[in-house]
Amino acid sequence: MSTFVIAEMSANHNHHKDIALQTIREAKKAGADAIKIQTYTADTLTIDCRKDDFVKKDGLWKGLSYYELYKQAYTPWEWHEEIFKVAKEEGLVCFSTPFDKTAVDLLEDLGNPIYKIASFEITDVPLIKYIASKHKPIFFSTGIAMHDDIELALKTMREEGCDDITMLKCTSAYPAPIEAANLLTMKDMKKRYGVKVGLSDHTLGSDVALAAVALGAEVIEKHFIIDRNLGGPDSAFSMEAPEFTTMVNSIRNVEKALGSVVYPTEINEIKGRQSCRSLYIAENMEAGDVLTEQNLRSVRPGYGLHPKFLNDCLGKKVNRDLEKGERMKWEYIQK
């Protein structure tokens, strides 16, 4: 099964629609399967307030109020229709992360095929319920979620009849340190919650994404930008096209390497099998000579009798003259 690779546009258009559309086209060239956007406005996410609670204290966005950050980062709703249209023309799946019911309604009108629930919305049970009621596949990130949050979100989705659920391991730091990835959690999530798993990756580079694929991730999401020099809220931890292409190519190679569970049953189907050991005559012998560890040896290549029969042959007499280098056969033993 091919890993579903998502290029997350997020705020990487810097409020230029032409950059947004170019980003879609470049994501396709870079090997993405999908382009993802986010559907909100500053007013649907927070309130315009600079009280201490509403101001970022650290990280990339230190000093910005939530309202100021989201004002910078949102994707104008009037662009959505053209974004979906261009993505379809490029052969990309286009879908979004909605942050309130009005965003869901807009996306439903556009035929949005998948819903992503952001990590920080894991506690918004009414929103999750509304999204699940649309009976579309759901991806949701676990970044800040505890067990109780995950279980309640899953219960809410399933009660609405949504069972096509992919849980994305996520570290909610921007950028995220590699040592905080804890990718082994994916296997536990799959077993514990009965869902498909993937990775929403905020680390720099592609190492963590490749490791996730090797561990069974079915979805990889990475922020994508056509040029980090454009700046913007998400630029520092977003991949440019050449990096993204390299990552996708490496993912496809990992998939090939994973292959399937194979235990060969036919010797002739095993490449290199002829180089294994087998029993060969190691000294010239005459009829009536006794087979010993000196004149019958287990050596490469593998065209002679199987080495497991060495002890069955030792001490027996041969019924003909044999030259050094002849493959040992049962028919050479005196009856």
Distance separating alpha carbons of residues 229 and 292, to the nearest angstrom? 76
Residues 204 and 304 in one domain: no
| Three-class SS state of 43 | helix
Residues 99 and 79 in one domain: yes
User: Of 197, 228, 258, which one is at a domain's C-terminal end?
Assistant: 258
Residues 328 and 251 in one domain: no
Using one digit for the tens of pLDDT, what is the confidence trace for 21-39?
999 999 999 999 999 999 9
Residues 46 and 160 in one domain: yes
Residues 106 and 130 in one domain: yes
Distance separating alpha carbons of residues 92 and 84, to the nearest angstrom? 9
Q: Give the chain's radius of gyration (CA, Å).
A: 30
Distance separating alpha carbons of residues 255 and 118, to the nearest angstrom? 27
CATH number, domain with residue 275:
3.90.1210.10
Residues 287 and 250 in one domain: no
CATH number, domain with residue 43:
3.20.20.70
* Rounded mean pLDDT, 138-166: 96
The predicted structure's pLDDT at residue 274:
85
Contact yes or no for 296/278 (Cβ under 8 A): no
Residues 165 and 57 in one domain: yes
Distance separating alpha carbons of residues 38 and 8, to the nearest angstrom? 9
Residues 132 and 241 in one domain: yes
115: exposed, middle or buried (Cβ count in 10 Å: 0-12, 13-18, 19+): buried
Distance separating alpha carbons of residues 326 and 311, to the nearest angstrom? 18
Using one digit for the tens of pLDDT, what is the confidence trace for 304-328?
999 999 999 999 999 999 999 999 9
Residues 19 and 121 in one domain: yes
Using one digit for the tens of pLDDT, what is the confidence trace for 167-202?
999 998 899 999 999 999 999 999 999 999 999 999
Using one digit for the tens of pLDDT, what is the confidence trace for 242-281?
999 999 999 999 999 999 998 888 877 788 888 899 999 9
Q: Please count the structural domains in the chain.
A: 2
Question: Domain limits at 27?
Answer: 4-258
Residues 67 and 199 in one domain: yes
User: Of 215, 241, 258, which one is at a domain's C-terminal end?
Assistant: 258
With cut-offs at 50, 70 and 90, classify the pLDDT of residue 233. Answer: confident
User: Of 226, 258, 290, which one is at a domain's C-terminal end?
Assistant: 258
* Rounded mean pLDDT, 126-139: 98
Residues 280 and 158 in one domain: no
Residues 222 and 295 in one domain: no
Distance separating alpha carbons of residues 317 and 63, to the nearest angstrom? 92
